[in-house]
Amino acid sequence: MPSLKDLRNRIASVKATQKITKAMQMVAAAKLRRAQEAAEAARPYAERMEAVLANLASAFEGRDDAPRLLAGTGKDDVHLLLVATAERGLCGGFNSSIAKLARERAKSLIAQGKTVKIVCVGKKGFDALKRDLGAYIVKTIELRHVKRVAFENANEIGDLVRAMFDAGEFDVCTLFYARFQSVISQVPTAQQLIPATFGEAAKTVQTDAVYEYEPDEGEILAELLPRNISVQIFRGLLENAASEQGARMSAMDNATRNAGDMINKLTLSYNRQRQAQITKELIEIISGAEAL
């Protein structure tokens, strides 16, 4: 049975923890709003880009002179997994659910006899994957110093991916990130970057108008495809940032509530014990008086 002093100390420490989790929750809420705004602001660009590319790409379907970024290398032996996670922990299952999806994909590819290379964006993904897939990780990109993800950050990653692709280091590239659905729900998502794929939604936006191209379609496509990789990575990073803050917010909300429950329980047993002690002392005094 802990003494009264022990209980007092524990209550004080849980209260301090609760203050921290509460503060973290509020900070996450403020950051979430900003991240969500950034993600929404980036949406028009990515959507337009996708629609235009889908339009152009459909003209090249099945043609031999289609750019390699669109048609692929014709093999799928080497897979590059680009795993985007957060730089910090304490955000519920956010990092581990992305890492889990990537790990499952990597294991199934290895079982099929394919070569797997992993590039981690964010330290937590590296931490989660290094134990069992450490040998496959070719590079880790840290974005710790970045307060707000800018397009340049995504572009640097895009440059790296393009350089690796041009050097023939992989055939298929997939990006892993968590799509932001709501504060309580973030969906780990795998998106294939190379060869480029386009969502069904983008395909239906096709217009009937006959476009004039300047320079010709092939050149435009050749210029836009590499850019599209950066744009998709950027979108993934922004979704990830919003998801991270959302996940942290609900995790910290839970933690604050649990701390509250714990404080209630501890206070109850503290009061009980204090009452027991008072009763004990009274009995001692009364029985002492009766004995006289």
Partner 1 sequence: MAGAFQFELVSPERLLLSEEVTMVVVPGSEGEFGVMAGHAPMMSTLRPGLLRVSREGGADQAYFVRGGFAEAGPKGLTVLAEQATSLSDLKAEDIASQIRDAEEDLADAGDDDARARSAAALAQLREVQAALKLA
* Active site positions, annotated: 91
**Which span (12-20, 125-133, 135-143, 226-234) binds partner 1, by CB under 8 A?**
226-234
Query: Mind giving me the DSSP string for 76-102?
Result: -SEEEEEEE--S---STTHHHHHHHHH
From the list 62, 74, 215, 288, which residue makes contact with partner 1 (rule: CB under 8 A)? 215
Counting contacts by CB under 8 A, is residue 59 touching partner 1?
A: no
Closer to partner 1 by CB, 79 or 162: give it: 162
Q: Does 65 bind partner 1 (CB under 8 A)?
A: no
What is the smallest separation between the CB atom of 150 and partner 1, expressed in angstroms?
Answer: 7
Alpha-carbon distance 70 to 275, whole Å? 76
* CA-wise closest residue to 256 among 88, 90, 96: 90
Interaction of residue 45 with partner 1, rule CB under 8 A: yes
What's the Cα-to-Cα distance from 23 to each of 11, 26, 90, 236, 249, rounded to whole Å? 18, 5, 13, 27, 10
Stretch that binds partner 1, among 101-109, 123-131, 173-181, 221-229 (CB under 8 A): 221-229
Cβ atoms of 117 and 134 within 8 Å: the answer is no
Binding test (CB under 8 A) with partner 1, winner from 1, 5, 44, 111 = 44
Binding piece for partner 1, criterion CB under 8 A, among 172-180, 224-232, 251-259, 271-279: 224-232
Q: How far apart are the first and last CA of the chain?
A: 33
Cβ-Cβ contacts under 8 Å for 200 (sequence gap 6 or more): none
Which of 46, 90, 190, 263 touches partner 1 (CB under 8 A)? Answer: 46
| Piece of the chain touching partner 1 by CB under 8 A; list 4-12, 128-136, 186-194, 207-215 | 207-215
Structure tokens at 265: 């329980």
How far is residue 202's CA from residue 287's CA, in Å, rounded to a whole number?
88
Contact 184, 213 (CB under 8 A): no
Instruction: Establish if 231 lies at the interface with partner 1 (CB under 8 A).
Output: yes
**Contacts of 123 by beta carbon, 8 Å cutoff, 6+ apart:** 85, 87, 140, 142, 144
Say whether residue 48 binds partner 1 (CB under 8 A): yes
163 binds partner 1 (CB under 8 A): no
Q: Does 209 bind partner 1 (CB under 8 A)?
A: yes
Interface contacts to partner 1, rule CB under 8 A: 38, 41-42, 44-46, 48-49, 52, 150-151, 154, 207, 209-215, 219-220, 223-224, 227, 230-231, 234
